[in-house]
Structure 1
Amino acid sequence: MDDLSLKETSRLQEIVEAAKGLDWEKFLSLTDDPFKNLIAMKEQFDDSSAAIAEARDKFDLEVVLKHHEDGTRLIFAKVLFSNKAKAPIILTLHSTSSSPESVISIWTFYQEINFG
């Protein structure tokens, strides 16, 4: 998780823990901006968290940080399961900066589509 701030790293870990625990209310509290479409995000959470919980810690987290020209940061996290037959989960976060006052929002949390 190179280059992530302490707050971003902590938030990412909390999101994964909420997913492992199937805890929608906790997940909901971990976005600083409200979801644009609550129903769609709940569906994403239900599907993705079920896969993460079922894996029982048998997964790796691959994280990429991209800096936007406006100074904000996009955090792309991919949950890679030990069971390669399972499609990875994509989690996208938006962070306003690397400062402790940063606003961090969850943008997406879905299972990657495999067209192969």
Structure 2
Amino acid sequence: MKYWYVYIMANKPNGVIYIGVTDNIEERVKEHKLKVYPKSFTAKYNCDKLVYFEDFENGKEAEKREKNFKKWKRVWKVELIEEMNPSWSDLSTNWNLNFNKIRDK
């Protein structure tokens, strides 16, 4: 079964946050960390730490959740992150990502 993910990247605890949606969270996080798109928001603000994510079986539901997140007040987003990840740790730290290979676009 394929999953979709709504995720939040940050540059530091209680810092700049970015909300995204993807069907391949490992590759997407790797792209953020490697700044594959150097002019992107996450590259510009160094949002390279995965601090929150949710998974969905349905892409439309994931997209709907992402859009709702983006409408939320910042304080609500921070509370959501801190419920799951109070220290704002990089949740991808132990994912064993292969930084030698980026999927083709």
TM-score under structure 1 length normalisation: 0.27
Bigger proportion of residues as strand: 1
TM-score under structure 2 length normalisation: 0.29
